[in-house]
Amino acid sequence: MKAGVVGASGYLGAELLRLLAGHPDLDVVALQGETSAGSAIGTIYPGLGAAYPDLLVTGFDESELAGCDVVFVALPSGSSQRVVPGLVESARLVVDLGADFRLRDAAAYPRWYGFEHAAPELLAEAAYGLPELFRDELESARLIASPGCYVTAASLALAPLTAAGLVDPGGVIVDGASGTSGAGRSPTAGTHHGAVNESFSAYKLLEHRHTPEIEQVIGATVLFTPHLAPMTRGILVTCYARLASGAAEPTTASLVELLADSYAGEEFVHVGQEPPATRQTLGTNNVMLTARYDGRTGHVLVLAALDNLTKGGSGQALQAANVALGLDETLGLPRVALVP
């Protein structure tokens, strides 16, 4: 099967190419990206040169992607909505790694993303690319909206609790920490090494754009606070929720069992007793979960760790594409973390 990548020179594009290099059924035939047009991908990322010695990044050209079995679009927010409508008509499957088709309500985009949506007619059609929760929708999809990294971690942590009616949906708190690669390849004053090293900071208080996406997935009101951690890759979220009115008081053991039962048979979700660390997921498509119940305060606590570029980004996009294309869901996706 033929695959194309639009936005190939960004971090998500590079991670996707790393994964596709090990995929037995998908062959990359086109790389596109305006800022790096004319460059070999091995020049931009020398580590990818051996896998793609002859592929040049070209400017966007829809005709070159026509006939692809899957086109992955890894463009900044607001950009993919202008190219996806045409690609949906010419490719078998389009997977958007950006945010442009994640929210169901077009009116939410000006509030959270600062733009009017250019293709609102596609919002209802886009399947949400979180296979563990929306696999059935993916099986017939021609357009997939791949979730955000924080959203993936928080949603997998909280969805079993909200679905069971165990927690109060009116006041869920999510504290998240991300590595600097979540900000993308282009450095800013707040994300380069000198600003982040030996520091830990919160950002976008009360206004992070992943907030409505988390709420949409889990069906609860969320207070989300993201933090920037001095590491390259990884997401760790700590989620707090009070018990729902009338809910039976759980135990830590019953919460862990609920998570384990919810994700039984899922290849990439691992539920354990110990608090997870981002290092345990480095370079993999895995999510690590655990939970606690604090009877003293009446709070449920759930933690999730993942690699923001893999399960939180390109790995998840590839996993969802595998489902939509009728392939083995695990193809091309690493499950063993880098150590040390």
Quote the DSSP letter at residue 146: P
Beta bridge partners of 289: 271, 304
Residue 243 burial (CB count, 10 A): 17
Q: Which of 84, 149, 304, 320 is catalytic?
A: 149
List alpha helices for the chain, DSSP H: 11-20, 41-44, 62-65, 84-90, 108-112, 131-138, 149-163, 193-196, 211-218, 252-262, 315-324
Beta bridge partners of 176: 226, 237
**R_g of the chain computed on alpha carbons:** 19
Contact 233, 179 (CB under 8 A): yes
Contact 131, 323 (CB under 8 A): yes
For 198, the enclosing helix (H) or strand (E) is: none
299-306 and 287-294 beta bridge pairing = antiparallel
**Can you tell me which residue has the tokens 């580590």?**
47
Dihedral in degrees, nearest 10, Cα atoms 30, 35, 41, 43: 160
149 catalytic per annotation: yes
Q: Is 176 helix (H, G, I), strand (E, B) or coil?
A: strand
| Active-site amino acid positions | 149
